[in-house]
Amino acid sequence: MSDTPIIDMHHHLGKEPDYADRLAAACERLGIIRVCLVAIEPGCYLGSFGGNDAVERAFKQHPDLMLGFGHVRLGIDGPQKVSELKDRGFTGLKFIVPARPYDDESFFPIYERAEELGMPGLFHLGIVARQEEGHHVRVRCHYMRPVHLDAIARTFPRFTIIGAHLGNPWYEEAAMTARWNPNVFFDLSGSTLKYRTPQFLGELLWWDSTTRYGSPDGSHAWEKIVFGSDVEYYEIKDVLHDYEVVMKANHLRPDLRSAVRYRTAARILGLQVG
């Protein structure tokens, strides 16, 4: 499907005992050379995904393919949790359903520790799926608006932030947060690629190094986008196809397509960039 290697920055571990093996086989077929497994701890709203322990087992079972993003529960865990996850071999961190808005300063020690340890953070943004269970968890989607990432990014400029779903439905906030902050990136996972047109995304991601109003670091807007699947292993091919449709419709140059598929994520993860 692609003539360049692919990194999947956003994948959840299913509960099936052999899920990691099935995912590994799917990645080999699709040309995915690294996949970030994003944990969500049991009892934290979305209970159908693997938690930190399960993700740790998976990335240790497939060390050449899988990287772990450990779940830090904002409002429950402290910065020591970040250190613990680093010591266990996790590459990055996952944040979802915070007790207060993401940019509440009570969470800043966690982000500071992540910055110190060089662990990127993947933040769920916008709407989350409604579940039949888990009503004991107070879900306030406006706590997860993409504009909250702006204050974090400015305060901790060496903390790399990945926002999920391009902030769905607060897309303009997400795009402007990416433009103004060199350390902020987004994936297009979720329903966005199914109900928003390539033209819509092209209009959001409009700037480059030549535009009058660009990014402080001179980056192209599409260099701020990474591939993320956020689906079951057997649906990754469909998400890859949607990304390709969007990139083709927006006439992205080969180097920008490579950035979306691989190069930007490789830089975030400290991998070799070809």
Q: Residue 243's domain is classified under what CATH number? A: 3.20.20.140
Do the domain assignments include residue 174?
Answer: yes
Within-domain flag for 147: yes
Range of the domain at 231: 6-269
Each of the 274 residues of the chain gets a pLDDT tens digit; together they read 457 899 999 999 998 999 999 999 999 999 999 999 999 998 776 667 899 999 999 999 999 999 999 999 999 999 999 999 999 999 999 999 999 999 999 999 999 999 999 999 999 999 887 766 655 667 888 999 999 999 999 999 999 999 999 999 999 999 999 999 999 999 999 999 999 999 999 999 999 999 999 999 999 999 999 999 999 999 999 999 999 999 999 999 999 999 999 999 999 999 977 6
User: Is 220 part of a structural domain of the chain?
Assistant: yes
121 - beta bridge partners?
A: 93, 161
Is residue 248 in some structural domain? yes
Type of residue found at 77: D
Domain count along the chain: 1
**Is 274 part of any domain?**
no
